[in-house]
Structure 1
Amino acid sequence: MHPLLHGKRLIAFDLDGTLIDSVPDLTVAVAHALADQRLTMPTADKVRDWVGNGAAVLVERALTWALGTPPDATLFDRAYAGFLHHYAEAPNQLTVLYPGAEQALTTLREAGYILVLITNKPERFIAPILDHFNLNACFALCLGGDSLAEKKPSPLPLLYAAKAYGVAPTECLMVGDSRHDIAAGKAAGFTTLALPYGYNHGEPISHSGPDAVLTSLAELIA
């Protein structure tokens, strides 16, 4: 096991950009939602830079890009409802696990670590995705961006998970790919581990000052 795991009991994982590459399916859903409103459809590269703050912000960023100005409430509501509908129809068609993710989760769970999933994705999409990849059994707790009153970069979901299992923050590790994951982990008092291959608005994740950066989750169990 990686030295960063020494003294840890609970490991919190982000989902999009950390365990799965979901941008292809998110792009399809965003494109359909904008096309429904007769707006220009974005590329996957655009969507990749918009992911990280939850579905509502993703749609708002897409609309602002297509319009050249922030959308009004009526248009946003229509597009957001469209996005949720289209994404629910096919959340796993093009999404893939990152190399090393499944092995890392399985090995860590078997080693006795408490694994929790903390994502800004709406909670309704978590179970279908985990079921698709046969990963549901890996996690003791799953929290979406709408599960609690606040989402990352707030430390609330992380502190909620630690308290739920009676684990001190100093015994917890936050694993993610974006500055929001690192900021939430630091604010919660967790050790932070970053992965450089995900979605971080075009910025190197090292700029967020994580405790460590690994190229693959496989390194966590090496």
Structure 2
Amino acid sequence: MPEPSAAALPSLPPLLSRVDAVIVDLDGTMVDTMGDFNEAINRMLRELALPSIDGQHIEHMVGKGSEHLLRSVLKHVLTLDGRALDAMDIEAIYPSAWASYQRHYLAINGQFSAVYAGVEEGLQVLQSRGLRLVCLTNKPTSFALPLLKAKGLGGYFEMVFGGDAFERKKPDPLPLIKTCEALGTARARTLMVGDSSNDAQAARAAGCPVVLVTYGYNHGQPVRGVDADRFVDSLKQLR
């Protein structure tokens, strides 16, 4: 898909002037959490006596919620382990894997991650414009809240919705629709800021404008090929 020309994209100041609130993604948008994923997942795999997985593979699996991530990891490592794999193999192991992963992730949450440069400055700019801020992530709420607090970002958001807050996760539009309802804002005046096609697809289907950062995960694919209103290299560019 060809990259949209700069002239075809609205500039950020006019775009921000047309919105009342901003929904911000977490992993890959505000915080680089790949180190946390790598550590927790490999601790889990060691506990289950399964082969390890490297960060490059994990990065391509992140973005559709922890349940999808864990099933993708299990499929990958069980294949490496030489097992004749079917869905029943994964589902048989999944409950113990999920319990182990939750325990390890909560134990290390935030220790192997870092806030991207420009994130706080960008959030401060949005606040200074009087925009209401909500964090919406596919990460479980029990993981997201302590991470935001540990990284000093929790105070910027009046609400935080994790992947377990609604019946479905991004790229389904339901989380954005429900978040706009919770804010009491019109979808067309509520901006989504994320890092992947999940965020963009959800925003488009919900009728929200969307800006994507260029440094996130996006399943290992170039983010500039995604249909979005604007791309930024840093949240500081949200001016």
Q: In the comparison of the two structures, how many residue pairs are matched?
A: 221
User: For residue 117 of structure 2, what is the aligned residue in structure 1?
Assistant: 99
Give runs of aligned pairs for residues 2-17 of structure 1, distance below 5 A: 2-17=13-28
How many Å apart are 1:30 and its aligned residue? 0.5
Matched, 1:25 2:43: no
User: For residue 73 of structure 1, what is the aligned residue in structure 2?
Assistant: 91
Using the aligned pairs only, state the percent identity.
34
Distance 2:13 2:78 in 1: 47
Matched, 1:126 2:144: yes
Matched, 1:138 2:156: yes
- TM-score norm. by structure 2 comes to 0.89
| Paired amino acid for 1:14 | D
After superposition, the C-alpha distances for 1:86-106 in whole angstroms (9 at most, x for unaligned) are 000011111100111011112
- TM-score norm. by structure 1 comes to 0.96
User: For residue 212 of structure 2, what is the aligned residue in structure 1?
Assistant: 194
Rg bigger for which structure? Answer: 2
Cα contact 1:2–1:219 (8 A) shared by 2: no
Distance 2:160 2:74 in 1: 29
User: For residue 82 of structure 2, what is the aligned residue in structure 1?
Assistant: none
Calculate the aligned-residue CA RMSD, in Å: 1.2
How many Å apart are 1:214 and its aligned residue? 1.0
Distance 2:113 2:171 in 1: 24
Segments of structure 2 that go 5 or more residues without pairing to the other structure are: 1-11, 80-84
User: For residue 57 of structure 1, what is the aligned residue in structure 2?
Assistant: 68
- Deviating 4+ runs (over 4 angstroms): none
After superposition, the C-alpha distances for 1:57-90 in whole angstroms (9 at most, x for unaligned) are 1111111000113533221111111111100001
Matched, 1:48 2:66: no
Q: Aligned to 2:218, what secondary structure does the other structure show?
A: coil
Q: Aligned to 1:77, what secondary structure does the other structure show?
A: helix
Distance 2:90 2:111 in 1: 31
Distance 1:36 1:24 in 2: 18
Distance 2:122 2:19 in 1: 15
Give runs of aligned pairs for residues 177-216 of structure 1, distance below 5 A: 177-216=195-234
